[in-house]
Amino acid sequence: MPAQVGGRVHVRAPSGSTSIYDGREATVISLHKTKCTVRLEDDGNPPRGTITGMINKGWCIPLPPSPEPPRPSSPPPTAFLTKPANFRVISIKVDSGKGAATLSWMAAQPTNCVLQRYSIKYMIGNELQGRETPDANATSHRITGLSCGECYTFQIAAHATGGLTARATSIAVEVPHPPAPPPAPAPEPPVSPVGMADPNTICPKTTKSYALVIGNNYPGENELKSCVNDANAVGAALDQAGFIDVTVAHNLDAVSIKRALRELRDKATEGSVVLVYFSGHGHSEGGDNFVVPTRMGCVATKQDWLDEAIATAYILTMMAQSKAKAKLLIIDACRSRGRHDTLANTSVKSAFDGAKMSWAAVNQSDAGVNMYSIFSSAEATVSYAGGSNDLSVMTRRLVPLITQEPGLELSSLVKCLSAQVLAAHGSSNQGRMLVNSTPQAWMIDFYFMPPSVGRSTRRAGCGVSEGVQDGGGDGADIARKNAAQHSLFPLSRLCMYVPWCL
């Protein structure tokens, strides 16, 4: 029976193929000649819905689905590249007869493309001189080997994928000629410190000079406050004056002091200057003078002092054994005496004589010529230290005389120093410095700082009026004034009288 709308047919796959619709019963929905549309019966099996096929003897053979018509393709995105902006020359330098120009620009901006590189060409007139290719990340470039005096035109272009190129406005710049060398200054006549042609005139700027500077504060013992400050200040002053070798040491024991003195003796060269400075405790015993090392043992006799302390005679001997032409010893310490001192009951003058005799024994040899000793205190007197942020009475006045008084010969410097220290003590019985030179006398003129050009040497006094103290006044007692105004205390206050036991 021919198929008709509303009738039933069975679905069968085309010949030579299989289909999930095989054997399914369907109802004809529409029919046009042999082409039909059927609805699969709801028999509980998928798939459901309608299919289109051909009617053939009561069977519906499904037609293959019609291919979808191609969708219209969208046009490709437009690629765009901006030109490098703010193209300019940021510097031109000339070196060894050739110029170098540094160019700068803002990066080109690619849209729907990739920036690959830049190209820079430079010309003189219409003649190409060169071409360089900075990479895509560059925003500056240096071009070298340019001819001086020529005007160059620089052009830059950005290059991106797809053959895109964007060129910036060209710029022109002239490479200058190298500056003419300045005329050679007229040679100045050599200026040497005053008197340096005289072999008996010495200053550290023209003569090799060596110094050992020691400051002992005795931490944990009979402690002082300013001696390390003193050593640092004097070391800096000597360095400024031109000493080629300044050793500054703090809180040395006896072994270390002796080792440092031997090293100073051995390093001093022929015709040089050696200087030893000590700030700390001092003592006078049996006509001899001693500087006190740290960690000193118990002392009760003069022999104890010779064993435990450092005699100034030993210091002078080490200096005398050196090859130096001039030897200076500066000791900023007290020279108090204990009750066991054999000279304790003699006059001050006798004490001076005893001390000088011990020095003279050292200075008898020719090596002792030009030996100069400066003590901050006379025999059996004290010397005043400063607070933790200060310097001692003597060193506070010594440092400026070394560094700020060019042309001040040593003998004049000592006169100024003595006057200033004495004035600082006012009516006190302290402040009497002792200066001692060799029996052969100080045979040279020594300057810490040579005089400035056009200035004469200075040998006159320093103009300090006797009895005028640091802050003015009527010469009140030095211990009271120093304690009140400068937080000073005498070194001898902590120099324990014998028996000495640290």
pLDDT digits (tens, 9 = 90+) for 447-483: 998 876 545 555 444 654 333 333 333 333 333 333 3
Return the higher-pLDDT residue of 30 and 420: 420
337 has a pLDDT exceeding 60: no
Nearest to 330 by CA among 406, 252, 277: 277
Q: What is the largest CA-CA distance in the chain?
A: 166
Predicted TM-score (pTM) of this structure:
0.52
Q: Distance between CA atoms of 364 and 502, rounded to whole angstroms?
A: 35
- Give CA–CA dist 430/490, Å, rounded: 10
Taking the C-alpha atoms of residue 376 and residue 244, their distance in angstroms, rounded to an integer, is 26
* Predicted local distance difference test score (pLDDT) of residue 493: 27
Q: 3-class SS at 402? A: helix
Cα separation of 308 and 292, whole Å?
8
Outline where 363-447 has alpha helix (H). Answer: 393-403, 410-425
- Backbone torsion region of residue 22, taken as left when φ is above 0, otherwise alpha when ψ lies between -120 and 50, otherwise beta: beta
Dihedral (CA of 454, 458, 461, 464) sign: positive
pLDDT at 81: 93
CATH architecture, domain 201-493? 3-Layer(aba) Sandwich (3.40)
Q: Cα–Cα–Cα angle for 176, 181, 186, nearest 5°?
A: 160
What pLDDT is stored for residue 372 in this prediction? 84
The one-letter code for the residue type at 417 is L
pLDDT tier, 38 (very low <50, low <70, confident <90, very high otherwise): confident
Q: Which of these ranges, 84-93, 200-209, 233-242, has the smallest mean pLDDT?
A: 200-209
Q: At residue 365, does pLDDT exceed 70?
A: no
Most confident of the following: 10-24, 207-221, 338-352:
207-221
Name the residue with tokens 């030179």: 437
Mean pLDDT for the stretch of residues 269-274: 92
Nearest to 120 by CA among 108, 131, 128: 131
State which of 66-75, 148-157, 191-200, 296-305 shows the largest mean pLDDT. 148-157
The least confident of 15-19, 336-340, 383-387, 419-423 is 336-340
pLDDT bucket at 105, cuts 50 / 70 / 90:
very high
Q: Is the pLDDT of residue 244 over 70?
A: yes
Burial bucket for residue 344 (CB in 10 Å: 0-12, 13-18, 19+): middle
Query: For residues 244-262, b (16+ Cβ closer than 10 Å) or e, as one string?
Result: ebbebbebbebeebbebbe
What pLDDT does 496 receive? 30
Which range is least confidently modeled, 27-36, 107-116, 150-159, 192-201?
Answer: 192-201
Tokens of 348: 């001050």
d(CA 438, CA 432): 20
pLDDT (mean) for 287-298: 87
Residue among 297, 293, 298, 299 nearest 314 (CA): 293
**Domain 80-174, architecture per CATH:** Sandwich (2.60)
Q: How far is CA 365 from CA 57, 134, 312, 358, 399, in A?
A: 152, 81, 17, 14, 31
Confidence bin at 355 (pLDDT 50/70/90): very low
Backbone angles phi, psi at 486, to 5 degrees: -120, 0
Residue 37: the pLDDT is 78
**Region 118-141 average pLDDT:** 94
Q: Does residue 13 carry a pLDDT above 80?
A: no
CB 212 within 8 A of CB 260: yes
The torsion angles phi and psi of 435, rounded to 5 degrees, stand at -120, 130
**Residues linked to residue 62 through DSSP beta bridges, in sequence order:** 53
Residue with tokens 């710049």: 173
Q: Which strands sit side by side in the sheet containing 282-285, from one edge to the other?
A: 282-285, 288-291, 310-311
Q: Which of 247, 248, 258 is nearest to 293 (CA)?
A: 258
Predicted pLDDT of residue 373:
84
Q: Which amino acid is at 367?
A: A
For every residue of 173-208, DSSP letters joined together read EEPPPPPPPPPPPPPPPP---TTTTSTTEE-TTTS-
What is the per-residue pLDDT for 379?
60
Alpha-carbon distance values, 243 to 99, 211, 213 (Å): 47, 7, 12
What is the pLDDT averaged over residues 212-230?
90
Residues 6+ apart with CB under 8 A from 489: 384, 385, 482, 483
In angstroms, the CA 105 to CA 90 distance is: 10
Strands 98-106 and 127-132, by their bridges, are unpaired
DSSP string, 25-70: EEEEEEEETTEEEEEE--SS-S--SEEEEEEETTEEEEPPPPPPPP
